[in-house]
Structure 1
Amino acid sequence: MERELGPWRLTFRVRGWLSDEVFGEISRYARYLGRDRGYGLFRIDPERLRGNGLTLWDAIASLEDLGVAVEEDLEALKRAAEEALRVVLELRGGWVYISSRVMLKPILEEEGLSLPYDREARAYRAPPIMYPRLREAFERRGLKVEDRVFPPSSRSLPRPVRFTGELRDYQEEALEAWRKAGGRGVIVLPTGAGKTVVAIAAVAWAGVWSLIVVYTRDHVRQWIDAFRRFTDAHSLVGAYYGEEKRLAPITVTTYQTAYRHIDRLAPLFPFLVFDEAHHIPADKFKRIASASPAPYRMGLSATIEREDGRHEEVYSLVGGVVYSSSPGELTRKGYLAPFVIRRVKVELEEEEKRLYEDLKRKYRILARGRSFEKILEDARRGDPTAIEAIRVNTRMKEIVQLSESKIRAVEKLVREELSRGSKVIVFTQYRRQAEEIARRTGALLLHGGLERRVREATLAKFRALKAGALVVTTVGDEGLDIPDANVGILVSGTGSRRQFIQRLGRLLRPGEGKRAVLYEVIARGTGEELQSRRRRGRG
C-alpha cells in the first residue's frame, strides 16, 4: 500500500481575531478548528485546495501575504510540506522509480496512467520515456519533485556554447516552433535545407548534454564537422561508435551503437536528436527513444512518412511534426536551386515484356483480388499463395527496373549531360545494375560493398570534378553531400516518396545560375508509371 499523505493533518495558528475577509481567504484552503490559548487554530484541507484549484504551496504563500500566521508554525508548515509533498524520481535498472508519501494513484489515474507498483521498493515503476510527463504532472499539482534522474544543473554543458552560424527565416521558424512545443517534435525539411544547422542551434539553446543519433559513420563525421563550423563547442564534441567511443557533453553516435549501449547512454543525455528520424520505428531503434528519459527530443527528416505507416510511432517517441516545408516552397523562396523533373519513358525489350505479362497474369491469379497490403498480411501468417504472389511481384519489379532499355536510356542521358558540362548522379537500387551502368558510361561507382576508404576516395574524386558522373546504390540515399551536382537520373528504386525526396534533395543545394534536373527513367505500361505519380506527390 502507498503511504498516507501527511500534510493534510498539518495545523497552524493565527494571531488575534480575523476580519471576515481574511477568514474567508484562509477558508479557501483550511478548516477552522476553534481557539487554543488565544490563537485561532486551522488545519489544511485537501478537498478545499482541490476545489479551488490551489496547491499547498499556494496556501503557504497566502499565509505569508496575510501575515497572520505564527512564524514558527509557518516555517514548520513549509518544512513539513516539503517533506510530505516530496516525490522522488530515480532511474535505475532501466526504469524510472517514483516514490512519495503522497497518494499518487489518483494523480496517475487523472493522467490516464496505469503503472506497476513495486511493493519491495515502495514505489511505482515507469518506462524512462515517461519521465518528463510524470515530472510535469507532479509539479503542476504543487508536489516537490526531487529529481534524481536529471538533477538541476547536473547535465548542463560545462560552459555555454555559442552558435556562430546564421539561421535563415524558415530555420528560425522551425527552431521557434520546436521550442514552443516544449522542446519536442519533428522538423521536416528537404535535403540541403539545413536541418543539421537547426539542430545545432537547438543544442546551443538548450545548454545540456546532447546525444546526436545518425544513420551511418559518414554522418558522424559530417555532424562533428558541422558543430565545429557553426559553434565554438569544439572540445565538447565527441564520437561514440565502432572503435572510437569518446563520451562528451555533445556526443554523436549511430543508431546501431546507440541501440547496443542505450543503458549506458540514457542517464547522461537530457537532449536527443534523431537524424533521419524515419528510422526510429525499426524494432531495435525505437528502444533508443523509449529507454531514454530525455525531456528534449528533436527528429529530423526530409520526409517522415513511411510506406508501412509506422511513422505514427515517431510522434509518440519524439513528438509530432512541429514544422514542415517542401522543396517547392523553399525553391520559390530562393533557398534551394530551381529544379525540373522529367520523365523518360522506355519500352521493355520484347523478351522482357513477354516475361512481365506472363508474371502479371500469374500474380492476378494468386492475388485473388486481394490488395498488396492484405497479401503481405496473409504471407506473414504463412499463406502459400500469398508468399508465392510476393515472389512473383518481386520478379516483375526486377524485370522492369533492370531492363536493358533503361540502361541504354541512361547511357544516352549521361552522354548528353556530360556534353553540357553537367555533374550527374545516377541512382539505382541494384548493385549489378550500378556496376553495368558505370562500366558503359565510364562513371565513378559507389555501393555498400566497397570498403569505407574506397568510398571516401571515390566521393573525394567526384567532388573535385567540374563535370562527371557518379553511379550510386541506396548507400547514396542518405548523407551524400555533393553541393554542385545538378543532374540526377533515377533508374530504379523502392518507389517510396521518401526515397524520391531524398534523391531529389541531393541536387538542390543552391549555386549561382544553378538549375537542377531530375530524370525518371520509367518503363511504359508497367507499375512504374503509377509509382512515379504517387511518389512525386506535391512539390
Structure 2
Amino acid sequence: MRIEFDDGTLLLRDAPDGVPHAEWDDRVDEYRTQARHYRSIRDWAGEWDDATAENGQLELHQSAGQDINLTDDARAYPDLALTPAVQIESREYQQAALNAWRDHGRRGSVVLPTGSGKTFLGIQAIADAGVATLVVVPTIDLMNQWHATLTNAFGDQLSQDIGVLGGGSHDVTPITVTTYDSAYRYIDEYGDRFGLLVVDEVHHLPAPTYQQIPEMTIAPYRLGLTATYERADDKHEVLEDLIGPVVYEEQVDNLAGEYLSEYETIHLSVNLTSEERKRYDEEYQIYRDYVDSHDFDLWKETGYQEFLQRTSYDPQGRRALIAKQRAEKIARTAAKKLDTLDNLIKRHHDDRVIIFTANNEFAYDISKEFIIPCITHQTKTDERTEILERFKTGEYSMLATSQVLDEGIDVPAANVGIILSGSASKRQYAQRLGRILRPTEDREPARLYEIIAADTKENYVSQQRRQGVTDSADS
C-alpha cells in the first residue's frame, strides 16, 4: 500500500479493504481520505515509530489479519533538532502542560490564562516534537509577534529563516507562521510539509472554513492554545477530533500572585440622566414589544438569528432592531460613565491604564475627550507599534481601544483596565482581564473596573460575561 498526499487528501494506492476513514473514489479507482487521518492510518497499519518514519518504506506489523507493506510518500516534512536559544526555566504549570501534551501523543489543547506564557509553551512544544512546524494565528499582529519570538528562539539553528505566509509574504520554510485566512487558502498545497500544527487562539478553529486547516494537513502532532476554550455555540466540541482533547487547563485564580499579578475586579454602576433614561426606555420598549409579540427564544443563538433574519424583510422588525441599537448606545455612552472615567483617570494617573470600549467611535471619542492615544483596527501597524512602545516605556500612561487589543497582542506593563462597554462574551472579559495580569517587579495588585449603566441591559450583559471567569467584588 502506498500513501500519497493529494491536494489536502490522502490517496491510498493498492489499499486493502478496511483501512480506517477511507472511502472509495471512483474517479481514480482507489481509496481516499482526509489528510488529517495520516497518523491514524499509520497506527492502523502498524506501530507508530518516529525513529523510522523518515525512511518512507516501512515493514509494519500485522494488521486486520494481513501483513501490510506500506510506502509512505505523503510525508514531506523534515525532522529538526532544536533547542530554544533563550534557556528560561519553565514554570511548574508550563512543564506540567508540556508533559500532559506529550503523554497524549503530542495531540491536544492547552488552556492557560492570558499572560501566562502560552507562546513560551508553544516554543517548548516545537523543540520537543522536533519536526517542521506550522503555527497558525488569527491576526497579522500576532503573526508578526510569533515570527519575532520564533526567530529569537530558533533562528540561528535553521538553514532557512522562519517562514511567513500572509500579510503580503509567501515564504514557506520548515518553521512557518501564518494567519488563519492564509492557511485556509494554501493548506491544500502545503499540508504535507509540517509534522506539527500549532494553532494559537484555537477557539477560532471551529469556523467552517477554518476547520479545513487541520483536515487538510497530515501533521501527526497538534497543539491548540487558548485562554478561553469553550464557545457559546458549543462548536468547540469539534476540536477534540481535529486537534485532540484538552490535555491541561489552569484557571487564572490559581496563577494569580505567584505567576500573574494579584487582581481585583471592581464593578461600578452609574445612573442615566433623566433625558437618557427617557430615550432609553422608549427605544428599548419598542424592541421588547416586537420580541414579545413573536416566538423568538432569545436565550438561544438560533432565536436571535431568527429575529435578525426577520428584520431583513419586516419593517417593524427593522425598527425594533434599530431601537435596540439606539438603546444600547445610550447605555454604552452614558454621560455619567465619562464622569466616573474622569475620576478613575485622576486616581490612577501613575498607573498604566487601558480603557476598553465596544466600538471604534466611542474609543475615538474618549481619546479626544481625555487627550490619550487610541488603538483600533484602523490604526496602522507602525503607529500601533509606536504607541505600544511608548506605553511600555511610560511615555504614555494610558490608551483607549475598541476590541483590537482583546486577543493575543502582548500589551506590556498595563496594571489597570477600565471596561466602559463590551459584549456578553466570557472570552472577551477573560482576555481583557489578561491584558493587566502580567506580573511586574513590584507585584502591585492589578485592577479591572467595569462601569455599568444601572437598570439597563448592561446589567445582564455584565453578569453573563463575568460568570465563570472570576469572582465579582462589587463596589
Q: Same fold (TM over 0.5)?
A: yes
Partner of 2:265: 341
Q: How does 1:429-444 map to 2 (within 5 A)?
A: 429-444=358-373
Which AA in structure 2 matches 1:520?
E
Partner Cα distance (1:324, 1:389) in 2 = 42
Which AA in structure 2 matches 1:473?
S
Q: Give CA-to-partner distance per residue, 1:355-414, whole Å, 9 cap, x none.
A: 222233222322236321243242466474766654443333222112222222212211
Alpha-carbon offset, residue 288 of structure 1: 1.5
Partner of 2:50: none
Which AA in structure 1 matches 2:440?
G
* Cα distance change on mapping 1:527 and 1:267 into 2, 3 Å: same
The question of whether the paired residues in 1 share the 8 Å contact of 2:272 and 2:331 is answered with: yes
Partner Cα distance (1:387, 1:134) in 2 = 53
Alpha-carbon offset, residue 286 of structure 1: 2.0
The question of whether the paired residues in 1 share the 8 Å contact of 2:7 and 2:189 is answered with: no
Once superposed, what is the RMSD of the aligned Cα atoms?
Answer: 2.2
Alpha-carbon offset, residue 306 of structure 1: 2.1
Q: Does 1:323 align with 2:248?
A: yes
The question of whether the paired residues in 2 share the 8 Å contact of 1:160 and 1:207 is answered with: yes
The question of whether the paired residues in 1 share the 8 Å contact of 2:296 and 2:307 is answered with: no
Q: Does 1:486 align with 2:409?
A: no
Partner of 1:51: none
Alpha-carbon offset, residue 479 of structure 1: 3.0
Alpha-carbon offset, residue 282 of structure 1: 2.3
The question of whether the paired residues in 1 share the 8 Å contact of 2:2 and 2:15 is answered with: no
Q: Does 1:251 align with 2:176?
A: yes
Q: How does 1:45-124 map to 2 (within 5 A)?
A: 87-100=1-14, 102=16, 104-105=17-18, 107-108=19-20, 113=21, 115-124=22-31
Residues 214-223 or 118-127, more deviating: 118-127
Partner of 2:59: none
Partner of 1:350: 274
Partner of 1:186: 109
Q: Does 1:281 align with 2:281?
A: no
The question of whether the paired residues in 1 share the 8 Å contact of 2:426 and 2:466 is answered with: yes
The question of whether the paired residues in 2 share the 8 Å contact of 1:95 and 1:125 is answered with: yes
Partner Cα distance (2:15, 2:347) in 1 = 77
Partner of 1:533: 463
Which AA in structure 2 matches 1:312?
E
Partner Cα distance (1:127, 1:191) in 2 = 33
Q: What percentage of residue pairs aligned between the two structures are identical?
A: 33
Residues 431-440 or 116-125, more deviating: 116-125
* Cα distance change on mapping 1:118 and 1:490 into 2, 3 Å: same
Q: Provide runs of 4+ in structure 1 moved above 4 Å.
A: 380-383, 385-391
Alpha-carbon offset, residue 177 of structure 1: 1.0
Which AA in structure 1 matches 2:287?
Y
TM-score under structure 2 normalisation? 0.86
* Cα distance change on mapping 1:411 and 1:308 into 2, 3 Å: farther
Which of 138, 144, 167 matches 1:221? 144
* Cα distance change on mapping 1:160 and 1:455 into 2, 3 Å: closer
SS at match of 1:96: strand
Alpha-carbon offset, residue 342 of structure 1: 0.3
Q: Does 1:209 align with 2:138?
A: no
* Cα distance change on mapping 1:358 and 1:233 into 2, 3 Å: farther
Partner of 2:392: 463
Which of 300, 303, 307 matches 1:375? 303
The question of whether the paired residues in 1 share the 8 Å contact of 2:296 and 2:304 is answered with: no
Q: Does 1:404 align with 2:330?
A: no
Which AA in structure 2 matches 1:97?
L
Alpha-carbon offset, residue 272 of structure 1: 0.9
Partner Cα distance (1:233, 1:486) in 2 = 36
Which AA in structure 2 matches 1:429?
A
Partner Cα distance (2:436, 2:84) in 1 = 31
SS at match of 2:392: helix
Q: Give CA-to-partner distance per residue, 1:518-539, whole Å, 9 cap, x none.
A: 0001111122222222222343
Q: Does 1:176 align with 2:106?
A: no
* Cα distance change on mapping 1:278 and 1:362 into 2, 3 Å: same
SS at match of 1:470: strand
Q: Does 1:393 align with 2:324?
A: yes
The question of whether the paired residues in 1 share the 8 Å contact of 2:367 and 2:374 is answered with: yes
Alpha-carbon offset, residue 236 of structure 1: 4.6
Which AA in structure 1 matches 2:467?
G
The question of whether the paired residues in 2 share the 8 Å contact of 1:139 and 1:145 is answered with: no
Q: Which runs of 5+ in 2 are unaligned?
A: 48-61, 471-475
Q: Give CA-to-partner distance per residue, 1:24-83, whole Å, 9 cap, x none.
A: xxxxxxxxxxxxxxxxxxxxxxxxxxxxxxxxxxxxxxxxxxxxxxxxxxxxxxxxxxxx
Partner of 2:426: 497
Which AA in structure 2 matches 1:197?
F
Which AA in structure 1 matches 2:456?
T
* Cα distance change on mapping 1:210 and 1:506 into 2, 3 Å: same
* Cα distance change on mapping 1:101 and 1:272 into 2, 3 Å: closer
Which AA in structure 1 matches 2:173?
A
SS at match of 1:474: coil
Partner Cα distance (1:438, 1:365) in 2 = 37
The question of whether the paired residues in 2 share the 8 Å contact of 1:227 and 1:233 is answered with: no
Partner Cα distance (1:160, 1:460) in 2 = 31
Which AA in structure 2 matches 1:523?
A
Which of 85, 90, 94 matches 1:167? 90
Which of 487, 511, 515 matches 2:445? 515
Which of 345, 366, 371 matches 1:414? 345
The question of whether the paired residues in 2 share the 8 Å contact of 1:422 and 1:467 is answered with: no
The question of whether the paired residues in 1 share the 8 Å contact of 2:201 and 2:408 is answered with: no
Q: How does 1:21-40 map to 2 (within 5 A)?
A: none
Residues 487-496 or 314-323, more deviating: 314-323
Partner Cα distance (1:393, 1:236) in 2 = 51
Partner Cα distance (2:44, 2:306) in 1 = 43
Residues 228-237 or 357-366, more deviating: 228-237
Which AA in structure 2 matches 1:450?
T
SS at match of 1:167: coil
Partner Cα distance (1:391, 1:186) in 2 = 40
* Cα distance change on mapping 1:170 and 1:387 into 2, 3 Å: farther
Q: How does 1:232-271 map to 2 (within 5 A)?
A: 233=157, 235-271=160-196
SS at match of 2:234: coil
TM-score under structure 1 normalisation? 0.77
Partner of 1:299: 224
Partner of 2:33: 126
**Which has the higher relative contact order, 1 or 2, with Cα contacts under 8 A spaced 6 or more apart?**
2
* Cα distance change on mapping 1:160 and 1:483 into 2, 3 Å: closer
SS at match of 1:192: coil
Alpha-carbon offset, residue 429 of structure 1: 1.4
The question of whether the paired residues in 1 share the 8 Å contact of 2:151 and 2:161 is answered with: no
